Amino acid sequence: MKKEERRYRFVQKMLETVTGASILSMEQTNGFRRDWRKAFIPNDVRSKDIPLHGCSNCVGRRNSFDWHYYSFNHFPAEKDPVGRIRDSAHPQERVVVWIELCKMPAIELRAGELANFLQSNQPPTEELYIANRKLSWTAVFTHEDDFGPYFVVKATKK
C-alpha cells in the first residue's frame, strides 16, 4: 500500500469513527497551515537551507517536510505525544489535524476525541500534524524512526 493511500485511510477512519469530526475547506486548510507555519517555524529558517514543505503534490517526487525544522534544531522527540495532547488541551477544545499533502483537506475535532482515537489507532508512519485552534501547541508525527514525534509549545512574547 502506498504512503498516500495509508494517509487517506487513516484520515477516513478518523472521519468515520470520531463524533463531531468535520472536514475544513481547502481555503480554511491552506489558511490554517499558513498560520501554523508562522506560529511554529521562525522566519529565518528558510535562509538556513532547512528543507521545509515540498510534498509530492507540490514538487513531484522529492519530499521535504515542515517538521524538518524540529529535527534540524534538535528538538527532543516526545515519548508520549498523546499524553501531552491530553495534558495540554481541554477535552472540548477544537484541534485541527492534517497530513503533509496539499491536496488533502484538514479535519477539525475535539481534543479529547482525538486523544481517544490516537490511543486506539496508531498514527500512520507518515507526516501527521495536529494543533489547537489557538496555535499555542502542536504535535507532529513523522515517518522517521529517529525523529519525532514532536510536541512543541509556542513561546509567548514577553
Residue 42 pLDDT: 74
- Angle value at C-alpha 8, between 3 and 9, nearest 5 degrees: 95
What pTM did the predictor assign? 0.83
Residue 127 pLDDT: 82
Residue 69 pLDDT: 77
Residue 51 pLDDT: 58
pLDDT in tens for each of the 158 residues of the chain?
A: 576 677 778 778 888 888 889 999 999 999 999 899 888 887 766 556 655 655 555 555 556 777 777 777 667 788 888 889 889 889 999 999 998 777 789 999 999 999 999 888 876 666 889 999 999 999 998 878 788 899 988 865 54
Residue 67 pLDDT: 75
Residue 158 pLDDT: 44
All 3 cell numbers of residue 135?
A: 496555535
State the Cα–Cα distance between residues 135 and 105, nearest whole angstrom.
Answer: 18
Per-residue DSSP letters for the chain?
--HHHHHHHHHHHHHHHSTT-EEPPHHHHHHHHHHHHHHHS-GGGGGGT----B-HHHHTT--B-TTHHHHHTTPPPPS-HHHHHHHHS-TT-EEEEEES-TTSPPEEEEHHHHHHHHHHSPPPSS-EEEEETT-SEEEEE-S-SSS--EEEEPPPP-
